[in-house]
Chains A and B, each alone.
Chain A
């Protein structure tokens, strides 16, 4: 198989985008193309394929075949183009498809863009939009949402491993601190741990969303776009950046109905996607210097840090309490601020996670740089863990 690397990254400021869906996607795309040193003049870009990842471009923005519109507005015709919808894992799915396109020889250079516009919806509508990824008969009509599943999951985990709401808040504060150094982050403030846990007004400052999950243990609704330029490493084509190699990609699915899992605390697809990515890369958890894990809820960062093999089962919160997942810890997680503070424009998230790892491996993560980072992992979580993609990136030569 051909080796594939990333030579360009782009990322809008997550939060609220005051423009069209296509302008937001194009902004990230053009930034990534220019970062790679690609000439945007007609016929000069030599981008063979574009994948546009979005969960809501059809449903929310009412645009079908959006990738065709994107390709045209950024002057990449006649590149091949597809829109990729895979719930909140759309972004990493698009990266995987780009890898497959290049590795197969069908394409040499591919642009991946992830984009989402959630803030044009009311809170009611966006909650409904996100809930459409649940089971259409057994979950969605009940009013069950992703926070509902995360709440029930958190309560069980608390019961079994003694996790506390303060443990969730510690992870939250850590991610907010990291976001202060990421100019693209949606929320740039650091809550005081005391104010959101023990203060007499903690219930007002940090109210329940889905008991025991509170505002500060779940992500915000964000607009945002992120983009990557991927290329084959055997073409001899020169880019403005040295490629960051994709060493491994793994993906796995699990029961669509959360209640059908034999162990309700088992995030099998996270574990399996990571296992496959490690296997492809010929690496293990000990090789990972920095990771972006899908913390749509703080409980997920904790459990994913166990499922990808960083910490033993039930010890993810302890590791966070000990500071091991901070930027200067031995397993830094979500240096970007994570979904919690950087924001979670669903279809853009998987691409955004890869952008952060590329910045870390290039040494460009100013203020949040992990020292000597050479290898990073991303885990992008779809549904309540029913479709998960993990990616390993490295600056090390193939071993």
Chain B
């Protein structure tokens, strides 16, 4: 099972995703990785029909989601045809892009049935 991380500043505790070289708050450069998972809530979404090279689907849905625990906000793929603002989902990790010799892993959030 692939995992993705948040990066907690060793000096001030500020959480980052993706990784920053310098802490955006205090200027420190040392971080500790923490697994980033759990429940998220959809802040906005879109269904995109003109995908770039390398995506074989007719369309993909994307969302900006907020992690309920940490409050971190990230952009993700969402495994739903008709997402909605406020929707609850689980932050699963999967292959977001297949490429020859290298797959890219990222968040593909799974809506929680209500």
Contact = CB atoms under 8 A, between A and B. Distances in A.
B94 to A, nearest CB: 11
Interface string A154-165: 011001000000
Interface stretch (A9-17, A112-120, A202-210): A202-210
Contact of B53 (A128, A151, A152): A128
B43 A142 contact: no
B47 interface: yes
A211 B51 contact: no
Interface string B5-47: 0000000000001110000000000000000000000011111
Contact of A209 (B50, B75, B85, B104): B50
A264 to B, nearest CB: 7
Interface string A110-133: 000000000000111101100100
Contacts of B77: 142-143
A137 interface: yes
Nearest to B52: A128
Contacts, number: 105
A209 B49 contact: yes
A135 B18 contact: yes
Contact of A211 (B17, B47, B55): B47
A159 B75 CA distance: 19
Interface stretch (A78-86, A190-198, A241-249, A255-263): A255-263
B76 interface: yes
Given A141-B106, A143-B97, A259-B64, A156 B46 contact: no
Interface in A203-248: 207-213
B74 A141 contact: no
Contact of A259 (B47, B51, B60, B73): B73
A210 B62 CA distance: 10
A145 B48 CA distance: 9
B96 A152 contact: no
A259 B50 contact: no
A206 to B, nearest CB: 13
Q: Which secondary structure dominates where chain B touches chain A?
A: strand
A139 interface: yes
A138 B17 contact: yes
Interface residues of A, number: 37
Given A142-B76, A143-B55, A209-B50, A156 B43 contact: yes
A212 B48 CA distance: 9
A144 interface: yes
B22 to A, nearest CB: 13
Contacts of A207: 49
Nearest to A208: B49
Nearest to A135: B18
Given A128-B52, A155-B45, 16 more contacts: A128-B53, A135-B18, A138-B75, A141-B106, A145-B50, A152-B63, A155-B46, A156-B43, A156-B44, A159-B44, A159-B85, A210-B46, A210-B49, A212-B46, A258-B75, A259-B64
Interface of B: 17-19, 43-55, 60, 62-64, 73-77, 85, 96-97, 104, 106
Interface of A: 122-125, 127-128, 131, 135, 137-139, 141-145, 147-149, 151-153, 155-156, 159, 207-213, 257-260, 264
